[in-house]
Structure 1
């Protein structure tokens, strides 16, 4: 029992968080990485530079008046699979290891993806799913990932994540950001694209490209480009993009439940902060969503992982 630190330095945001295992209260500090107008992300070297600059400032804000830590953890890679690697995560790892060495505690490490799932479980009040051996489904839908995961409590790993379905090409967040940048929106574009879509009254007949439990999203970019070239409004094009993603996730969810049986479904990742998508999925499934501040990249799930590892 005590205070646990989590650090996550993804390709989108610098994040650090504290979790109090006695009260269940979290404190989170995070800041988007700066992306120039018209660009669709950062090179890894630029991401490392900005994390190196931003993380100390956020840590100073986070630790204002905080007592001694009981444990800490960092995200070391996007996913817990062979070959998953991004240099930007080294910044968080190095800082966490330095903190742990100064305090004489052993740091834990986990994946960025597992942090997303744990943050979503915390946010929607479903941490109890880790107290039994019943599996559940979780989606991690972001700019770098569109995965459907079969999840189960794991004594050593806290939670095991097995990829049941995924996008074979573009990811949902990439589709949103590419359209948003084309429309002149600032990166990342999710919130502003949703605002545009809400102004549309169009209903679209969507036929997602889903094969089993896998999907293909590469067609969205071309279809949206063609719509704009034909004179379709930014509002209607934005709604088509989000509707297509929603129907794709819905079809994948249905396929997963047909294979594994009826079970709760947790939706995590920045794309799942979109209320237009979340509201439709909530009407169709036993679905649970993280609050927006726990959907985008954050370190709350990483801090929670440190606490759960300390409890094991």
Structure 2
């Protein structure tokens, strides 16, 4: 008898990903491919992203599904960046086209969510919480540094309302500007984290937080000036991590107090950094706020959240 599965597809700015979970919500398989960026460049045009996603998706779908006795019960897919009206990015069209085609052929239920909701669902699924009515989520990545109030709705989905975030650079842009200047390959997050491990002390950089809003352009400029002045590479990398950790901790501390919540979910590529997580966790614990973090590989861009949502919503409907 075929096993019913729930498929997830996500085509973000820099990762093509496919994932499948079973009837018990456990991961059956996943495959992902980071988009190729030429050395020295800080990104890709949307047309390049669409091309690479379109090329990657068939192979990744085959890797997860071919040779398995599966029956698609539902498909979750990221169709746009944020859960806002008119939120649009061409990169997500590649995933949508494959998901809609598979749903039409198999009769599987199609669940379309935003990339940001995919991150939230991946976090809830991997961290196993917080399963509360209201919590805060910080989505920290190359394209987002958003503080969101997440509120559960009667239909099982969550309403996400942005209540704070960066007023200029996103956290990932800060990391990548410094990382590329250090000669690291874009996206530079993993390499910068590894480089920082060799540092004895961090280079001191400014922290700019005003209630629930933060600024990262000043710290980025300061970091680049320190590099020009001869700062040691590993110490500067560690300084970036410490600065982001303190920035996040202050913003989340203020947000938890303002909205009277005791649970915070940290997701996104920058949110997978171990030192940043540890710093935020220690600071929030002093205020009796619990930090929830997914496994590192499910914090960065991946399709597990789309699969988990399709499973969660349709298992609820079916019994």
Runs of 5+ in structure 1 lacking a partner? Answer: none
CA drift at 1:184: 1.1
1:105 paired residue among 105, 108, 115: 108
**1:2 and 1:22 in contact (8 A); partners too:** no
Q: Could you say which residue in structure 2 is the equivalent of 1:290?
A: 294
Structure 2 counterpart of 1:276:
275
Q: Where does residue 313 of structure 2 map in the other structure?
A: 309
TM-score computed with the length of structure 2 as normaliser: 0.92
Whole-Å separation in 2 of the counterparts to 1:47 and 1:305:
25
1:40 is the counterpart of 2:42: yes
* Separation in structure 1 between the aligned mates of residue 168 and residue 243 of structure 2, nearest angstrom: 15
Partners of 2:203 and 2:14 in 1: CA distance: 31
Counterpart of 1:16 (choices 15, 18, 37) is 18
Unmatched segments (≥5 aa) in structure 2: 285-289
For 1:47 and 1:231, locate their aligned partners in 2 and report how far apart those are by CA, in whole Å: 36
CA contact (8 A) 2:203 2:236 kept: no
Provide the rounded CA distance (Å) in 1 between the counterparts of 2:27 and 2:19. 11
2:252 aligns with: 253
Counterpart of 1:3? Answer: 5
Moved over 4 A (4+): 203-207
Secondary structure of the 2:44 match is coil
Q: Is the 8 A contact 2:19 2:27 kept in 1?
A: no
Following the alignment from structure 2 to structure 1, what is the Cα–Cα distance between the partners of residues 224 and 205?
16
292-301 or 200-209: bigger deviation:
200-209
Which whole-Å deviations, capped at 9, do the CAs of 1:142-169 have from their partners, x for residues lacking one?
Answer: 0000011111212336111111111111
Q: Contact 1:158/1:308 (CA < 8 Å) preserved in 2? A: no
What do the CA deviations read for 1:258-287 (whole angstroms, capped 9, x no partner)?
A: 111241111111101111111111212211
Which residue of the partner structure matches residue 61 of structure 1? 63
Return 18-27 or 300-309, whichever deviates more.
Answer: 18-27
Structure 1 residue 116 corresponds to structure 2 residue 119: yes
Partner of 2:287: none
CA contact (8 A) 1:7 1:92 kept: yes
**Count, aligned residues:** 308
Name the CA distance, whole Å, in 2 between partners of 1:292 and 1:230.
Answer: 34
For residue 63 of structure 1, report the CA deviation from its aligned partner: 0.1
The 1:185/1:93 distance shift into structure 2, 3 A limit, reads same
